[in-house]
């Protein structure tokens, strides 16, 4: 098959790209490659029941995190992420018995709280702390040329 060199193209804003058209394909590849380098979001799984929260981990690396909450109790619950200053960063809708809800957020290092904000539940014990830590930087050895 003959190889055609693509002329250099100016970056096209996403909104201007025609969806699913052939002309969008040459641009899509380098974008996908670049994304693969980005660290995948950290994951946490929380089980909620009467009246406790069971998170799958206590320490999460800073950056994007996906928190899934499964209600294994009989009553309704929800899950909020609260910062140390008391500010609620995100909260799921009410999760019915057996239901699953997902929160996506980006967190800086520090101490946070998982809470069920349904009245009375936090006081009954539905609150747990977790810590966000700066990810340990990978030691990259520099390859020096010519030495």
Partner 1 sequence: MPRTTKADLEAERLLWRAGFGPAPGEAKRLGRLGRRRAVEQLLAPKGRALGGRPARIDGGPLDPVNAYGHDVLWWLDRAARTRHPLAERMTLNWHDHFATSNEKVGDVKLMMRQYWLLRNYGLGSFRALTKRILRDGAMQMFLDLAGSEKGSPNENFARELFELFTLGVNNGYTERDIREAARALTGFTFDYDTKRFGFDPDRHDRGVKRVFGKRGRFTPEDIIDLAINHPKHAPYLCEKLWHYFTPLPVPPRTLKQMVSTYRRSGTEIRPVLRIILTHPSLYADLTSPHQVKPPVVYAAGMLRRTNTRIADESWIHLLDEMGQRPFHPPNVAGWDQDDAWLTPATISARFDAASMLVQKRVKDGSISASQSPQRAIAAARKATGDPQISKRTALAMQRYAVASVKGRTDDWEVKHYFPERQRVLRHVLLAGPDAQVC
The encoded tokens of residue 110 equal 């520090």
Please identify, among the stretches 18-26, 44-52, 106-114, 138-146, the one whose residues bind partner 1 according to the rule CB under 8 A: 44-52
43 binds, among Cu ion, partner 1, none (CB under 5 to 8 A by kind): partner 1
The encoded tokens of residue 111 equal 């101490």
* Interacting residue with partner 1 among 100, 108, 109, 111 (CB under 8 A): 100
Closest separation in Å from C-beta 56 to partner 1: 5
Closest separation in Å from C-beta 147 to partner 1: 36
The single-letter DSSP state of residue 135 is P
Closest separation in Å from C-beta 42 to partner 1: 8
77 binds, among partner 1, Cu ion, none (CB under 5 to 8 A by kind): Cu ion
The total of other beta-carbon atoms located within 10 Å of residue 52's CB is 15
What's the burial of 5, exposed, middle or buried (CB within 10 Å: 0-12/13-18/19+)? Answer: exposed
Q: Which is nearer to partner 1, 15 or 43 (CB)?
A: 43
107 bridge partner residues: 63
118 binds, among Cu ion, partner 1, none (CB under 5 to 8 A by kind): Cu ion
Q: Which residues contact 110 (CB under 8 A, 6 or more apart)?
A: 83, 84, 131, 132
Element of type H or E holding 63: strand 63-71
* Interacting residue with partner 1 among 28, 59, 72, 89 (CB under 8 A): 72
């Amino acid at each position: 098959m003959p190889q055609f060199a693509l002329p250099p193209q100016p970056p096209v804003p996403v909104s201007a790209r025609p969806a699913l058209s052939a002309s969008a394909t040459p641009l899509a590849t380098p974008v996908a490659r670049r994304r693969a380098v980005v660290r995948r979001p950290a994951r946490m799984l929380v089980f909620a029941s009467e009246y406790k929260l069971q998170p799958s981990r206590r320490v999460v690396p800073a950056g994007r995190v996906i928190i899934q909450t499964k209600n294994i109790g009989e009553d309704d619950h929800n899950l909020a992420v609260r910062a140390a200053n008391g500010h609620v960063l995100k909260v799921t809708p009410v999760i019915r018995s057996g239901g699953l809800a997902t929160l996506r957020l980006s967190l800086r290092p520090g101490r946070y709280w998982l809470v069920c904000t349904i009245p009375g539940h936090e006081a009954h014990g539905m609150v747990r702390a977790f810590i966000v830590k700066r990810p340990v930087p990978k030691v990259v050895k520099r390859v020096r040329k010519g030495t």
